[in-house]
Amino acid sequence: MDIQLSEKQQSAQDEFRDFVDRKIMPFANDHDKQETMPATLIQEVADKGYLGGLVPEQYGGNGMDSVTWGLLCEEIGRGSASLMSLFTVHSMVIQAILKWGDESSRERWLPRLATGEIIGGFALTEPNVGSDATAIETNATLDEGQWCVNGQKCWISFGQVASLFLVFAQTEGKSIALLVERECDGFSSEPISGMLGFRSAMLANIKFDHCKIPESNLLGRPGFGFSHVGGTALDQGRYSIAWGCLGLAQGGLNASLAYAGKRKQFGVYLNEHQLIQALLTDMITQAQATRMLCYRAAALKEQADPSVIMETAMAKYFASQAAVKISTDAIQIHGANGCSDKYPVQRYLRDSKIMEIIEGSNQMQQIMIAKHGYQSHVMNERRQAERAKRETK
Ligand SMILES: Cc1cc2nc3c(=O)[nH]c(=O)nc-3n(C[C@H](O)[C@H](O)[C@H](O)COP(=O)(O)OP(=O)(O)OC[C@H]3O[C@@H](n4cnc5c(N)ncnc54)[C@H](O)[C@@H]3O)c2cc1C
């Protein structure tokens, strides 16, 4: 696996870093406190072409490779996990349309998603339905060329501002995925405040009251909603989140290295105390291990290797835990300063905890990874038994 960045990737990384250092880092704590994401900042990332990173050039996007997209999510995650969540949900809608939309849907939506003229939202979770997405209660019925959608979704990141939602519903017992525009009659949203983390992710609960949607807004076909369209979107979401967690982890580490190198206690800098060195060592190693898993997922994605789905789940699972651990230790190293809003590490901890819950909670990842591990084990045993049988003949 090659983890050497190409010249183009390196220069993209430099550009992302510079942008985040100037435009995001200095303001992220204030946005967090005010529980808002300024429209001007969203416009700025759209104007840079970042929101269209994954849209192919033929539809007006940037056509980034998997590593470059990962580097972008890492840097944005280092600056603001809330803003990173916009990249996550927006790219989930893009990937779902790319893979499951027909050509006319791609031509209709992708150029506008690429420029940020429309913002995508992902609407799966409901008041009674979280991890068990097969039990969705939102209902859609097809009548004279239109879907009529009724139901409610909750905890929708950027639900206050998104203009196109990828909505999961059920029709006659089959799961479907529909593109629902904010503008449609019967749509309403209610902002959410006071969350532990992702405080500037403009969360909302949204409602559909007899919303009429053109039949052509269906992605995939009935029965494919959660399993296929949702599967594509969630895989994309986990990939972005794994890299975003790497950014959170790196941010906590950078802040700790800087702090431990300038604060003295007992006459020496903190980084000269061996117990602090032990914390820093674990943080550096965890961040590096996270990076390796992210790069591995990127390499498999570029090769369209089917194992990428499981490797991405592992990257998200590991990265979110590493981000929590590193942010916790970062606060320890900062002492009381780490608990104050003058430093970013308290925000990193609150945001990284969210990462263990979203895009399939870590328990859901454990179930998926363990099941897959067992299936691979059974297949390997079967292959070995067949080989042994052939050799004894
Ligand atoms: C900040 C934030 C942003 C979000 N953004 C979005 C968004 O944009 N779009 C969207 O659709 N949703 C969004 N969500 C919702 C998120 O996807 C759900 O919270 C998540 O899927 C878990 O569902 P739940 O909260 O209902 O927990 P539940 O499913 O009720 O689970 C509660 C706990 O039980 C565990 N659990 C559940 N089933 C099992 C099992 N079989 N075995 C073992 N443990 C189990 C879970 O892991 C969890 O720890 C967001 C949530 C947050 C906090």
For the chain, give percent helix, strand, coil, nearest 5.
Answer: 60, 15, 25
Domains, the chain, ordered by start:
7-118 (1.10.540.10), 121-221 (2.40.110.10), 227-376 (1.20.140.10)
- pLDDT, average across residues 2-7: 87
Residue with CA at minimum distance from ligand 1 atom 11: 124
Convert the pLDDT of each residue in 179-196 to its tens digit.
999 999 999 999 999 999
Tokens representing 45 are 């990332």
Q: What is the pLDDT of residue 175?
A: 97
Convert the pLDDT of each residue in 28-55 to its tens digit.
999 999 999 999 999 999 999 999 999 9
Kindly list the distances between the CA atom of residue 196 and the CA atoms of 33, 192, 238, 243, 325, in Å, as whole numbers in the listed order. 11, 11, 20, 21, 17
CA nearest neighbour of 96 among 215, 213, 218, 219: 219
Q: What is the pLDDT of residue 3?
A: 78
Q: Is the CB of 226 under 6 A from ligand 1?
A: no
- pLDDT, average across residues 112-141: 97
Q: What is the pLDDT of residue 139?
A: 98
Q: What is the pLDDT of residue 1?
A: 67
Which of 87, 248, 357 is the best mutation target for the ligand 1 pocket, counting ligand atoms within 8 Å of the beta carbon and taking the most? 357
Q: Is the CB of 206 under 6 A from ligand 1?
A: no
Q: What is the pLDDT of residue 121?
A: 98
Q: What is the pLDDT of residue 2?
A: 66
Q: What is the pLDDT of residue 393?
A: 81
Convert the pLDDT of each residue in 326-342 to its tens digit.
999 999 999 999 999 99
Do residues 244 and 74 lie in contact, with contact meaning Cβ atoms separated by under 8 Å?
yes
Query: How many Cβ atoms are within 10 Å of 273's Cβ, its own excluded?
Result: 15
Q: Is 260 left (phi over 0), alpha (psi -120 to 50) or beta?
A: alpha
Average pLDDT over the chain, rounded to whole? 97
For residues 84 and 69, give the distance between their C-alpha atoms in angstroms, rounded to a whole number: 12
Selecting among 35, 126, 356, 359, the annotated active-site residue is 359
Residue with CA at minimum distance from ligand 1 atom 44: 363
Q: Is 356 a catalytic residue?
A: no
- pLDDT, average across residues 75-86: 98
Which of 125, 161, 354 is the best mutation target for the ligand 1 pocket, counting ligand atoms within 8 Å of the beta carbon and taking the most? 125
Convert the pLDDT of each residue in 254-271 to its tens digit.
999 999 999 999 999 999
Helix H or strand E segment including 55: none
Q: What is the DSSP letter of 357?
A: T
Residue 324: pLDDT above 70?
yes
For tokens 């001007």, what's the residue? 40
